[in-house]
Amino acid sequence: MRLTIGATPIPTNIILAPLSGCSDLAFRLIARECGAKLCFFEMVDAHSLLGPHPKKFNILRTVPQDTPIAAQLVGEDPGIMLEAAQILLAHVPVVLLDINSACPVKKVVKKRAGAALLKDPQTLSQIISTLASSLPIPVTVKLRIGYSQVDIPALRDLVKACEASGAAALFVHGRTRDQGYAGDINYQALHAVKSAVTIPVVGSGNIFSGPLAKQMLDQTGCDGVLVARGAFGNPWIFEEIEAYLRDGTLPPERSLRQIHTVLKRHLAYIAQYKTASPAGKIGFMRKVVLWYLKGFPHASKLRGQINRITDYEALLVFLDEHLLQEAQE
């Protein structure tokens, strides 16, 4: 299923979320090879794009095959958000720009940004209207269903205000800020959001499989789903959701050989594109390997061995020994 956000056609309603510290270029390329048709850059701090910081564009690194691409800014000041957005658009062609009012992380909330904007709807509306009236692309908003609790009438008022201020779509996580990523998804609250506005609403939270994606769509009426942690070590989730929504097809279990092939390609992309020190790069590779091996036999035992590897080539040898050999047995 396709979406139209503003006047922009979107080729899918299954979207890779902006994932801080995770959805870098390597992650997105692998996701696209496995069915993702629209990806977000990692969340970008608006303040980081202002000033002469030599590495400020590292987070926006991309290649021609990494399209279409969307971006998300986090910040608390309408003027700074607009300036950052203009800098971003001059650097990379994105199809839409999202305003983050959902991030629950303390260091973000302390700056009155992210989920803190849920408690300051006036500032959120000012940010939306400032960007929507000044930028040539659709402006969207990522939010949660509440800060510390769910108040359906207040939530309806908030999302109506977002639409009235110029938001072209909403990405809504079905938990409060205080819940973080724990607890059940509140489908009733997401349904209330969808019924309160006329713009597209994309549901977020616990999208770990095709059946869970369908449950989100069926119980909320949302127009699409935002895939986040469900893509960690499972880039196939995009084609799996698409197949399940199309005809109820459930995928066969991935073979060790398939996992080995895609994981090594993911690591090769990290080696090629990740802008980090050698130690930082291998540390990130270890994290990625552990994503793929979650649920793998003896994963806890392997974790300790993986965390002691300090060299890319040694990591590849380790994977050959523990994945390929076991696949051949």
C-alpha 18/C-alpha 231 separation (Å) is 12
Inform me whether the pLDDT recorded for 313 exceeds 80. yes
- Give residue-wise pLDDT tens across range 105-150: 999 999 999 999 999 999 999 999 999 999 999 999 999 999 999 9
Average pLDDT over residues 175-204: 97
Catalytic residue numbers, as ranges: 103
Single pTM value for the model: 0.95
- Report which secondary-structure segment, H or E, holds 172: strand 170-173
**Percent of the chain at pLDDT above 70?**
98
- pLDDT digit string (tens) for 150-162? 999 999 999 999 9
CA distances from residue 146 to 117, 155, 180, 203 in whole angstroms, order as listed: 10, 7, 11, 14
Residue pair 137/176 in contact (Cβ under 8 Å)? The answer is no
Least confident window among 25-39, 180-194, 199-213, 246-260: 246-260
pLDDT tens-digit profile of 49-68? 998 877 889 999 999 999 99
Is 173 assigned a ligand-binding role in the annotation?
yes
Q: Is the separation of the CB atoms in 12 and 2 below 8 Å?
A: yes
For residue 55, give Cα distances in angstroms to 58, 59, 108. 5, 8, 20
pLDDT over 70 (residue 325)? no
Among 79-88, 109-118, 270-279, whose mean pLDDT is lowest? Answer: 270-279
In this model, does residue 327 exceed pLDDT 60?
no
86 is in an annotated binding site: no
pLDDT tens for 198-218 read 999 999 999 999 999 999 999
pLDDT tens for 210-254 read: 999 999 999 999 999 999 999 999 999 999 999 999 999 998 888
The reply to whether 254 sits in an annotated binding site is no
Q: Is the pLDDT of residue 166 over 70?
A: yes
Cα 256 off chain centre by? 26
* Residues 230/19, Cβ–Cβ less than 8 Å: no
Residue 45, number of CB atoms within 10 A of its CB: 18
Q: Is 142 marked within a binding site?
A: yes
pLDDT of residue 299: 76
Instruction: Give Cα 236 to chain centroid, integer Å.
Output: 15
Helical spans, DSSP H, in the chain:
25-33, 78-91, 106-109, 121-132, 152-165, 187-196, 210-220, 237-247, 256-273, 278-293, 299-306, 312-319, 325-328
3-247: CATH homologous superfamily? Aldolase class I (3.20.20.70)
pLDDT at residue 326 in the model:
59
What is the residue whose two structure tokens read 């720009």? 97
pLDDT (0 to 100) of residue 300: 79
Of 182-186, 294-298, 323-327, least confident by mean pLDDT is 323-327
Task: Give bridge partners of residue 58 from the DSSP assignment.
Answer: none
Q: What is the pLDDT of residues 293-305, one digit of tens each?
A: 987 777 778 888 9
The first and second tokens of residue 73, run together, are 């800014």
Is 164 among the annotated ligand-binding positions? no
